[in-house]
Amino acid sequence: MKSLLKSSPGAGAGAGAAAPHAARGGSSTVLGAALLGFFLISLDALIVTVALPDIGRSLGGGMSGLQWVVDGYTLIFAALMLSAGALSDRIGARQAYGGGLVLFGLASAACGLAPGLGVLVAARLVQGGAAAVMMPASLALVRQGFPDQAKRARAIAVWTVGGAVAVAAGPVLGGALTASVGWRWIFFVNLPAGLLALALLTRVPASPRLPARLDAVGQVTAVVAMGALTYGVIEGGDKGFGRPTVVVSLLVAAGAAAAFLAAQAKGSHPMLPLPLFRSRVVAVSLMVGFMLNAAYYGGVFTFSLYLQQERGQSALHAGLMFIPMTALVAVVNLASAKLASLFGPRVPMVAGQLVGTAGLLTLLTVGPHTNVWVVAALMVPVGLGGALTVPALTAMLLDAVPADRAGTASAVLNTGRQVGGAISVAVFGALLSGADTFLAGMRWSMLLAAAGLVLTAGATLTLPRARRGRTEA
């Protein structure tokens, strides 16, 4: 996470220029504003999953519509993240963060008031775009408010807690709100937190504006490629991959992806420098991050539907089922850092992926009458595997790239992880729709995710051993 502060030159430069003024606003005020935004960004990626059956009953639409409620947010968030740092530099971190907060709040209100599924999905797309703007800007604000390196490291640790708490609380809070006051409140709850963040932001001085060039061609082709691919997979699973619209969307995705790669290879200011992938560590790290999020987000999506549609659990009870999986994440994160410092990052990375694989394979035993608390226990290794892998994965990636590429490498990793989550929801939904029974589709989804983690664990073993101690926080 520390490297994200370097995601754009402006983050560092802006910090130096604004530090004397930032103190007048209060570093705790800066941190509070940034933490609230990160909490909202992380919360909205998962809070909606447990509410999906209720949303479907309220607004209509089948599996494909519910997939878009999840992926509309994650997809745009991932697609815009690489360019958002440059935008934050151009208009200033505080200004970008404030604008993102306002847009996020308006989109949240639109989600809560949506009269139909189409409006809800459109508002989720806007939410994702606002989140992409807020993410790098929030970290640049932390950099601005904490010019001292030691204090900044502690501030970043606190900042990350906001995301960890949101990930753990998302399914539970979503279930509680849906069961008590209705699914619309999973979006309305963003408004008071957003207003508080804006109130804190008014006490933070304006950030300097710095020169930063946007890769317009790369950004447009990235959005088209990811959107067309997601559409093709979702609609193909729902209506068949032979339909002309599905075939055309997949061809558009392939063409846009080729155009994106050409723009990155030939552009003077590419958003994704392709030489970065000459490093085996970078390439493998991206694969591992992709698969971890695919397994986690896809698993939460699948088992939210299983618990409610197949087992008749309420939204609240379904949310409670995810507590065992998320409760130990922070503790395991610390254990991962310790293991990496003792044995190098490969050990916790491989161990984490194998633990996640074991969890996915044990979930194959879940049937129509399995005790729901047994299901909750069987999901625990999936969450723990990711928590064990990610800190060491991030440390290994940052050790493998030059200092001036650390921010770019970190942004690429986070983008890859978000893409993994979006694609897995599309693919798992297609398997659920296309299988003879829900349980058959669920098992194919778990098998696919397990196979992916086995492959990435094997790829991790091909990486060179890092020196011990380099991965300590």
CATH number at residue 322: 1.20.1250.20
Could you tell me if 253 and 319 lie in one domain?
no
Mean pLDDT of the 120-124 span: 93
* 107/89 Cα distance (integer angstroms): 24
Q: Which run of H or E residues covers position 320?
A: helix 315-320
Could you tell me if 224 and 155 lie in one domain?
no
Mean pLDDT of the 360-385 span: 90
Residue 41 counted as domain residue? yes
Mean pLDDT of the 290-305 span: 89
Residue 151 pLDDT greater than 80, yes or no:
no
What percent of the chain is predicted at pLDDT more than 90?
19
Residue 211 counted as domain residue? no
Residue 85 counted as domain residue? yes
Give the DSSP letter of residue 148. Answer: S
Least confident residue range of 7-21, 230-244, 350-364, 442-456: 7-21
Give the DSSP letter of residue 466. Answer: P
What confidence score (pLDDT) does residue 6 get?
Answer: 36
- Most confident stretch, 209-218, 341-350, 432-441: 432-441
Q: Residue 208: which pLDDT band, with cuts at 50, 70 and 90?
A: low
Residue 84 counted as domain residue? yes
Looking at 226, 241, 270, the residue that finishes a domain is 270
Looking at 228, 243, 270, the residue that finishes a domain is 270
Could you tell me if 122 and 226 lie in one domain?
no
Give the DSSP letter of residue 51. Answer: G
What Å distances lie between residue 32 and 26, 37, 39, 170, 412, CA to CA? 10, 9, 10, 20, 26
Could you tell me if 231 and 101 lie in one domain?
no
Residue 422 contacts residue 230 (beta carbons within 8 Å): yes
* 208/444 Cα distance (integer angstroms): 51
Least confident residue range of 60-69, 93-102, 398-407: 398-407
Structure tokens at 422: 């979006």
What Å distances lie between residue 71 and 67, 90, 112, 220, 338, CA to CA? 6, 28, 17, 18, 34
Residue 136 counted as domain residue? yes
Looking at 160, 177, 206, the residue that finishes a domain is 206
What is the total count of domains within the chain? 3
What confidence score (pLDDT) does residue 11 get?
Answer: 35
What angle do the packed helices 438-461 and 346-362 form, to 10 degrees? 160
Angle in degrees, CA 419, 420, 422, rounded to 5: 65
Residue 419 counted as domain residue? yes
Mean pLDDT of the 78-82 span: 79
Interacting residues of 373 by C-beta distance below 8 A, sequence separation 6+: 321
- Most confident stretch, 67-71, 198-202, 356-360: 356-360
Residue 3 pLDDT greater than 70, yes or no:
no
What Å distances lie between residue 206 and 96, 159, 248, CA to CA? 10, 21, 46
Residue 457 pLDDT greater than 90, yes or no:
yes
Q: Which of 174, 443, 169, 112 is nearest to 298 (CA)?
A: 443
Neighbouring CB atoms inside 10 A of 151's CB total 13
Could you tell me if 450 and 307 lie in one domain?
yes
Note the pTM of the prediction, 2 decimals.
0.76
Residue 156 pLDDT greater than 80, yes or no:
no
Could you tell me if 385 and 466 lie in one domain?
yes
Mean pLDDT of the 344-364 span: 90
The mean predicted confidence, pLDDT, of the chain is 80
- Per the structure, the complete domain to which residue 27 belongs is given by 1-206
The one-letter amino acid at 162:
G
